[in-house]
Amino acid sequence: MQRRALVAGNWKMNGSRDSNAHLIHDILLEVRKYPDVDVLVCPPAIYIESVGRQLDGSPVQLGGQNLSEQEKQGAYTGELHGSMLRDVGCSYVIVGHSERRAFYGETDAVVAAKFRAAQSCGLTPILCVGETLQERESGQTEAVLARQIKSVLDACGIAAFKQAVVAYEPVWAIGTGRTATPDQAQDAHAFIRGQLAGADARISNSLRILYGGSVKADNAESLFNCPDVDGGLIGGASLKSGEFMAICAAAQSRSK
């Protein structure tokens, strides 16, 4: 099955109004060369609206990096409700990034609640899963992925995956310059798809599964050519327009 490629830039806690404007300007010069790729940027929340204004009328989509798990707006100081992300033009939101799990204590249950909260506001969640180095070395990779996927499946049901994206991001590859090999990525992606196929093969087959972790211009093509890799979630390289556009080019050549 042909799944449309998605390349998502996760800017994390980086940027300024000035640097964002330059980055988006440069992306917009190139992005129409890649009509078979969905291109998404996820700026820090405070910049989403201004980046959105600059993107107006372009094919580049907007996403948040995080949202509250609360169902309703209210007295939750410092939090952002999914409806607010929608209100400023987001169509996607990252949930369960390993930095949120590790540094902000997000449990599988919280991640599942965020996934549900995103969908209830009409946002497409990008659910991040992935094992640490220690988990990989002790042979627990599949058990960890199965647990992370199952907690969302149990809480939200398989139908929720019709309008979702999964990102496989091995923690040891994030920001380290150490990328999973195409074989390691393909094995993990096929495993994730297999877990969901047990619940509904059609939904699992149409689900986009992105790879994330030190994707760069020079390794994107070999990763994106894996049959179960449908694009990338890009951190560091999404802050450099040349790198990011070259990654989009790799996704475009895959989908031909």
Give the residue among 127, 15, 14, 8 at the shortest CA–CA distance from 61.
8
Of these, 64, 82, 170, 235, which contacts ligand PGA (CB under 6 A)? 235
Residue 36 · residue 256 · CB < 8 Å = yes
Encoded tokens for 97:
């990034």
* Bridge partner residues of 231 (DSSP): 6
Q: Which is nearer to ligand PGA, 19 or 205 (CB)?
A: 19
Sign of CA dihedral 156, 157, 159, 165: positive
DSSP-assigned letters across all residues of 37-76:
EEEEEE--GGGHHHHHHHHTTSS-EEEES-----SS-SS-
Catalytic (active site) residue 135: no
Give, as ranges, the residues between 188 and 227 that touch ligand PGA (CB under 6 A).
Answer: 212-215
User: Least distance (Å) from ligand PGA to the CB of residue 76?
Assistant: 25
Catalytic (active site) residue 169: yes
Which residue in the list 97, 106, 189, 243 is annotated as catalytic? Answer: 97
Q: Which is nearer to ligand PGA, 31 or 237 (CB)?
A: 237
* Residues binding ligand PGA: number (CB under 6 A): 13
x/- track of binding to ligand PGA for residues 130-169 (CB under 6 A):
---------------------------------------x
Q: Which is nearer to ligand PGA, 15 or 235 (CB)?
A: 235
Encoded tokens for 247:
């990654």
| Residues noted as catalytic | 97, 169
